A and B are shown apart, each in its own frame.
Chain A
Amino acid sequence: DAMVIQNPRYQVTQFGKPVTLSCSQTLNHNVMYWYQQKSSQAPKLLFHYYDKDFNNEADTPDNFQSRRPNTSFCFLDIRSPGLGDAAMYLCATSEDSGGYTYEQYFGPGTRLTVT
């Protein structure tokens, strides 16, 4: 089945220690998104890639970076995690075709704990 895969599902890191979360997709979609979701809140968009073009949300902290080396993979790097960065991180993909963007498909998420 075509899908969005996130690894690991659970990640524990120490305060200030860089961490990388990964996302891969077999849908061959050209748009990939990273969301942060804190407990009992809606997902908050951090940034998205349209093909290789990176688009940052205005309120995304500089502490969060992303890389997309190819169509299938996208990484979220948190350079110096703080306690406030503990959250579920969701990756999503969609296909933009002819100016129309279809619905987003989400991965299962990575729950990040910062100790």
Chain B
Amino acid sequence: GDSVTQMEGPVTLSEEAFLTINCTYTATGYPSLFWYVQYPGEGLQLLLKATKADDKGSNKGFEATYRKETTSFHLEKGSVQVSDSAVYFCALSSDSWGKLQFGAGTQVVVTP
């Protein structure tokens, strides 16, 4: 079955550091890929998405590129802020009705 593997956290960074969160997936067919962010006590917010190979999703300084050859969708941000502290979930959708398969989530802590 489909699955998503993402790097374990917590990832602790200083403000303005470079952030990478690795995400790899296993799926049949051609899934859509997503990054969701969850701030403490809140629901999930869609951060970015990519629907086909070589697509790059970007939002709020975050980027991720759909790499079919390596089955990866790594999340990057060049300069993090304290407000980026959250849990980040990588997810894929390959069913016709959009069922999401989530990774375990990676907690990111950014210190001043």
Q: Decide if B66 is an interface residue (CB 8 Å cutoff).
A: no
Q: Distance in Å from the Cβ of A2 to the closest Cβ of chain B? A: 14
Interface hits, A75-112 → B, CB 8 Å:
90, 92, 94, 96, 99, 101-109, 111
- On whether A42 and B102 interact (CB within 8 A), knowing A106-B44, A107-B43, the answer reads yes
Contacts of B21-46 to chain A: CB distance below 8 A: 32, 34, 36, 41-46
Interface residues of A, dominant DSSP = strand
Interface size on A, residues (CB 8 A): 26
Number of interface residues of B (CB under 8 A): 22
Q: Enumerate chain B residues within 8 angstroms of A90, measured Cβ to Cβ.
A: 43-44
Instruction: Determine if A104 and B46 form an interchain contact, defined as CB atoms under 8 angstroms apart.
Output: yes
Residues of chain A contacted by B96 (CB below 8 angstroms)? 96, 99, 101
- List of A residues within 8 angstroms of B104 by Cβ: 41-42
